[in-house]
Amino acid sequence: MWLYRFIICLAIGIYFHVSVVTPVWAQYGQSAPKIEIAVVESTALSPQNSIDGRMVASHDLAIVAAIDGVVTLGAWREGDIVQKNDLIAEQDTAKIVMALDRLLLQQAETEQLILQTRTARDFERTLLDLAKEQTLLQKARRDRLTELAAENVIPKDRLDEASRTYLQSRQAEIQAQKTLAKLESDLVQTQIKSELIAVEIADARADIQSARLIAPASGQLASMTALDTGYFRQGEMIAQLRSPNSYEIEVDVPVALLGFLRQIKTISGSDATGAELTASFRSEIPQENQKTGTRPVRFIIISDLTPAMMADQARVRLNIPASDQQPVITIPSDAIIPYADGVYVFVVTADQVFRRNIAIGTTVADRIVVTDGLTAGEQIVTKGNEGLRDGMTVTIIEPPVKPSVVEPQ
């Protein structure tokens, strides 16, 4: 009987030992849960004030008449979305086309005149060469007769005749040089005229090309003329195009916060629907509202432009720094588990996880500021925290990356 009681007590003891010491997953032959972890970081941040701002169209693109004439609009209306190189309107180019045809005929005529002048110049050069040879022959004859006349071998009238013939040859040579010089000058003038006509032709073709008024960028038509067809002078505005790059954010920032704002490269915020945005400081507008003690500040939008932001005066909200930067504790948002009274995380210690309640603050990008409950350097579970219990043994599938602790500036 005592042996039977001993066996029963031993079995009960072994059962309680297995139930208490051995994890549940080990009792059923399961492996330790696999998790991914991250390291709690210390980052320099500033306390922030959320201030309402507005979208402003800092610069629109103007679509203007390129020439004087009648303009016919395409099938566009104010507010339509257009793509780059879409045809917005077209100007009547009938007169320019006629002028271009006349210029082309003038250019052909000028080219023919250039060809004729070059041919005449070449002939005149040949005649000049012959005149020079004739002058040399007559000069040699005159010189020979001069020697004979000096010896009284020939009468003096023959020498006079030879001198007249030489002078006539010289005159013909000079006349040929004059004619050749004029032809050279005419050729240069004709070539200049041809180049001027070419410039006018290029201008006419450019006017015809520019008469197709296309969208210089993708965007939205902010304004358009109400007439489908009308006469416009060169430079008169036909439409205004607002591209996504035209938008900036303007916020009336208290003067006391401007110094803190200048120290920050990028700031976060949200549009009217709550979608997050990122912007960077561009400039302060040099005017101040004495009643509110604020100055308009312009910000460049870094993140993608949301539909809620694509309107002049659309409401946005930016987180403006309210003091100097201070070290704060941040963790990935994936690590946080909500419950009825707040939030908690699982802290990893020696391959075991332990639940810890924490207090959180603002959101910075994909991380959340922890105001109480964690210290920099601790390891927390970011993935695989579903079903974890306090004290459970786990398997880490990715080693943590030790971040650098950023000191406040």
Q: What is the C-alpha to C-alpha distance for residues 315 and 309, in angstroms, rounded to an integer?
A: 7
For residue 121, count CB atoms less than 10 angstroms from its CB and return exposed for 0-12, middle for 13-18, buried for 19 or more: middle
- Give 30's pLDDT tier (boundaries 50, 70, 90): low
Q: What is the C-alpha to C-alpha distance for residues 189 and 296, in angstroms, rounded to an integer?
A: 62
107: tokens are: 């250019």
Sheet holding 219-224, edge to edge: 61-64, 237-242, 219-224, 81-82
In percent, the amount of the chain with pLDDT more than 70 equals 89
- Give 61's pLDDT tier (boundaries 50, 70, 90): confident
Q: What is the C-alpha to C-alpha distance for residues 76 and 61, in angstroms, rounded to an integer?
A: 16
Helix (H) or strand (E) holding 270: strand 266-271
Q: What is the pLDDT of residue 59?
A: 83
Domain boundaries, the chain: 32-47+323-409, 48-59+246-321, 61-92+212-242, 94-201
Fold type of domain 94-201: Helix Hairpins (1.10.287)
Cβ contact 377:329 at 8 Å: no
Encode pLDDT of 234-288 as tens digits.
888 888 888 888 899 999 999 999 988 888 888 889 999 999 999 999 999 999 9
- Give 398's pLDDT tier (boundaries 50, 70, 90): low
Q: What is the C-alpha to C-alpha distance for residues 151 and 323, in angstroms, rounded to an integer?
A: 122
- CA 350 → CA 24, 64, 81, 181, 394, distances in Å? 19, 72, 59, 104, 9
Total number of residues shown for the chain: 409
Q: What is the pLDDT of residue 403?
A: 53
pTM confidence score: 0.56
Strand partners, 212: 90
* Stronger pLDDT, 274 or 323, i.e. the higher one: 274
Q: Which amino acid is at 102?
A: R
Q: What is the pLDDT of residue 12?
A: 46
CATH class entry, domain 48-59+246-321: mainly beta
Encode pLDDT of 221-234 as tens digits.
888 887 778 888 88
- CA 222 → CA 79, 87, 226, 229, 236, distances in Å? 6, 16, 13, 19, 16
Q: Which amino acid is at 121?
A: R
CATH value of 32-47+323-409 in 2.60.40.420, 3.40.50.720, 3.20.20.140, 2.40.420.20: 2.40.420.20
Pairing between β-strand 395-398 and β-strand 379-383 as defined by DSSP bridges: unpaired
Q: What is the pLDDT of residue 14?
A: 44
Tell me: pLDDT of 160 over 60.
Answer: yes
Pairing between β-strand 81-82 and β-strand 219-224 as defined by DSSP bridges: antiparallel
- CA 60 → CA 153, 161, 163, 199, 231, distances in Å? 101, 89, 85, 32, 23
Among the residue ranges 13-27, 43-57, 346-360, the one predicted with the least confidence is 13-27
Tell me: pLDDT of 295 over 90.
Answer: yes
Tell me: pLDDT of 27 over 60.
Answer: no
Q: What is the pLDDT of residue 79?
A: 82
Across the range 70-81, mean pLDDT stands at 85
Across the range 69-89, mean pLDDT stands at 86
- Give 195's pLDDT tier (boundaries 50, 70, 90): very high
Cα four-point dihedral sign 181, 182, 185, 191? negative
Q: What is the pLDDT of residue 303?
A: 92
Cβ contact 82:106 at 8 Å: no
Among the residue ranges 71-80, 170-179, 246-255, the one predicted with the least confidence is 71-80
Across the range 356-381, mean pLDDT stands at 88
Q: What is the pLDDT of residue 365?
A: 66
Encode pLDDT of 95-142 as tens digits.
889 999 999 999 999 999 999 989 988 888 888 888 888 889 888 888
- Give 32's pLDDT tier (boundaries 50, 70, 90): confident
CATH class entry, domain 61-92+212-242: mainly beta
- Give 355's pLDDT tier (boundaries 50, 70, 90): very high
Tell me: pLDDT of 401 over 60.
Answer: no
For residue 392, give the nearest of 8, 40, 31 by alpha carbon.
31
- Give 193's pLDDT tier (boundaries 50, 70, 90): very high
Q: What is the pLDDT of residue 112?
A: 93
Across the range 196-213, mean pLDDT stands at 91
Encode pLDDT of 15-25 as tens digits.
444 444 445 44
Tell me: pLDDT of 4 over 70.
Answer: no
